[in-house]
Structure 1
Amino acid sequence: MNKPIIALDFSTRTQVEEFLSKFDESLFVKVGMELFYQEGPELVRSIKAMGHQIFLDLKLHDIPNTVESAMRGLAKLGVDMTNVHAAGGMDMMKAAKKGLEGSGTQLIAVTQLTSTDEAGMHEDQLIYVSLEESVLHYAKQAKRAGLDGVVCSVMEAGAIEQACGKDFLKVTPGIRLADGNADDQKRIATPAKARLQGSTHIVVGRAITTSDDPAASYRQITNEWSGQ
């Protein structure tokens, strides 16, 4: 069972270091745009030097050549996982994969954000199939492009496993404890439900980072995720 990925939704290196100091074990953490754009690659190197795994969540979406070049630069950081938007198309996803060649970094594609619901997808994106059909289409495209998996909600993880295989990664954000708030997410689930639905990785943010005891909350989520 993969470790829960903790979303480091902070603005500064000081906040990150203070948070990580509460743990005495190696973690799998997510560095997103807010943090990376303010603290840059040096913070990623620092977190790696502490012995933690990193999912660098930048959701690249540009022309293939630009994305390939960007990935070639990110590969030098030694992150464990990074991503693109599947909506960028097959050529872009293949170019991203090419840019990471030899790095060992896993590449996944965002399907539909967990803040998106079906009505919003229809209205904002003019995609008129069901939300699940859209997510499955993007997942199949990512697999054909040679990617390692996708970001999706727990609700689509089972269908993606059937379509793309058990080893195809299903990285699912929007994870909350049963008594937690949804915040700005619309398609959410508990760690236990994620496990049962076929998620391979869960991403947990505020349920841990805003907890009075982050280490205890992390242990609780880990136990639920592993079925203990």
Structure 2
Amino acid sequence: MINDDRTIVALDFADRGDAEALVARLGGACGHYKIGLELLTAAGPGLVEELVGRGHEVFLDLKLFEIPHSVAGAVRAAGALGASMVTVHAMGGTGIMSAAVDAAREFPGLRVLALTVVTSMTGSDLADIGIGVTPDEQVLRLARLAAGAGCDGVVASPREAGLLRGVLGPRPLIVTPGVTLPGADAGEHAARSGTAQAAFAAGASHVVVGRGVTRAADPLAALRRVRSGG
């Protein structure tokens, strides 16, 4: 069985009631949840505080991409809520990543993760915005930039986990969304998805699983399948 602390369930809901119902169904089987912009906007920051108050870790996936001052303020707000992780866009450059890292120092339990290339993007998508390299090359370039800025780790697809571990070494976090059950539809992560077992074997520190668990008829059974690789 994979350590539950490393398996993060994404609460990708538009309604607080749906998110709370899923948390209740999983009970003590899940200790780590991801909250993104959709749910944060719909439910407000109180949900983060509620989950933290119950003993859960919260990965606040804000994907911050703003001027450094604004990024620093948002990171402080995430830390004040009790979040364990917060994301900033590596494509924003060293300035915003360094600002996020500096702001997070006020909160010892908060780790700053740099988002490299979102799991839905392909080489042609990168070309559309003027980036003439493969997703692998761009992920590695941004990961090195994030490490230089002092980030605690990176977010990338399961397919890049092995490359990243080889470049970053053993300590930084490598968090991989786009995790699916074997044989399941990858949905919006289809371009660069993978299983939890493959991601961990390649060097991921954490995996993020979404609809494969949250939309399952039996979410608890689905979560157990993610951990067992079946």
- For the superposition of Structure 1 and Structure 2, which TM-score range results when normalised by the shorter chain? over 0.9
Per-residue CA deviation, residues 24-76 of structure 1 (Å, 9 max, x unaligned), is 31521000000001111111111112221100001000111111122122210
In structure 2, which of residues 103, 116, 134 is the aligned counterpart of residue 111 of structure 1?
A: 116
Show the 5 A alignment for 1:62-211: 62-103=66-107, 104-123=109-128, 125-185=129-189, 186-211=191-216
Counterpart of 1:175 in 2: which secondary structure?
strand
Indicate the residue corresponding to 2:63 in structure 1: 59
In structure 1, which of residues 20, 26, 37 is the aligned counterpart of residue 23 of structure 2?
A: 20
Structure 2 unaligned blocks of 5 or more: none
Shift of 1:3: 2.6
TM-score by length of 2: 0.94
Shift of 1:148: 0.6
Counterpart of 2:229 in 1: which secondary structure?
helix
TM-score by length of 1: 0.94
Q: Which runs of 4+ in 1 moved over 2 A?
A: none
Shift of 1:189: 0.5
Q: Distance in 2 between matches of 1:30 and 1:206?
A: 12
Shift of 1:204: 0.2
Q: Distance in 1 between matches of 2:153 and 2:192?
A: 19
Check whether the contact 1:3–1:27 (CA below 8 A) recurs between aligned residues: no
Q: Distance in 1 between matches of 2:92 and 2:119?
A: 18
Q: Distance in 2 between matches of 1:133 and 1:194?
A: 18
Q: Give the number of the structure whose residues are more often helix, by fraction.
A: 2
Q: Distance in 1 between matches of 2:127 and 2:179?
A: 24
| Greater shift in the superposed pair: 215-224 or 137-146 | 215-224
Counterpart of 1:93 in 2: which secondary structure?
helix
Q: Distance in 2 between matches of 1:19 and 1:155?
A: 28
Cα RMSD over matched residues? 1.3
Q: Distance in 1 between matches of 2:198 and 2:132?
A: 28
Indicate the residue corresponding to 2:10 in structure 1: 7
Give the percent of matched residue pairs that are identical in Structure 1 and Structure 2: 37
Shift of 1:132: 1.0
Q: Distance in 2 between matches of 1:73 and 1:48?
A: 14
Q: Distance in 1 between matches of 2:229 and 2:182?
A: 11
Shift of 1:224: 2.4
Amino acid corresponding to residue 35 of structure 1 in structure 2: L
Q: Distance in 1 between matches of 2:163 and 2:96?
A: 24
Shift of 1:217: 0.7
